[in-house]
Amino acid sequence: MQFDPMTPIWLQVKRALETDIVSGLRPPGEKLPGGRDLALQYSINPNTAARVYQELEKDGLCETRRGMGTYVTGSMERIAALRREMAEKAIQEFLSKMSVLGVSRQEAARMILKEEER
């Protein structure tokens, strides 16, 4: 994974895992790699990897079972909420780019529909 050096590494790995959870690549209840393995997979510092899980847990996206490891949350509602959050964020980013280009919201919506027809 290529990191953006301006953004905290833990945040970038957290976002990558969130995308995996929402997309179903890491389904609800699945065991996540241990902290050290996560560090090796992403070539990141183990402390950073530990931070990733802390933050995911804080957001209710994963749970640590003592002695067993870390698991993706089993709560479909929480995952659905995450999907909404991420989608909203993507739309916000999209719209702000459009507004820079001088494209109004209605125009943008029309363009999206047109794109779908193709």
Partner 1 sequence: MILESKEVTKLFGSKRAVDGISLQLEKGHVYALLGPNGSGKTTWMKMAAGLIKPTSGTVAFEGAPVSIESRKHVAYMSTEPYFYAWMTVKDVGKYYQDFFEDFSYERYQKLLQKTELTEDLKTRALSSGMMAKLKIAVTLARDARVYMLDEPFNGIDLLARDDIRACILEYATEEKLLLLSSHLVEEMEAIADRAVFIKEGRLVENVDLDDMRSQRGESMADRYREIYGHTEG
**Closest CB 21 distance from partner 1, rounded Å:** 22
User: Half-sphere exposure of residue 78, counting CA atoms within 13 Å on the CB side?
Assistant: 17
Q: Which of 15, 31, 36, 84 touches partner 1 (CB under 8 A)?
A: 36
Q: Which of 17, 18, 21, 51 touches partner 1 (CB under 8 A)?
A: 51
Q: Which of 23, 45, 99, 104 touches partner 1 (CB under 8 A)?
A: 45
CB 9 within 8 A of CB 3: yes
Q: How many helices (H) and strands (E) does the chain have?
A: 5, 2
The reply on whether position 58 binds partner 1 by CB under 8 A is no
Residues 6+ apart with CB under 8 A from 110: none
The reply on whether position 44 binds partner 1 by CB under 8 A is yes
Q: Which of 40, 87, 109, 111 touches partner 1 (CB under 8 A)?
A: 40
The reply on whether position 3 binds partner 1 by CB under 8 A is yes
The reply on whether position 5 binds partner 1 by CB under 8 A is yes
**Closest CB 80 distance from partner 1, rounded Å:** 28
Q: What are phi and psi of 94, to 5 degrees?
A: -60, -45
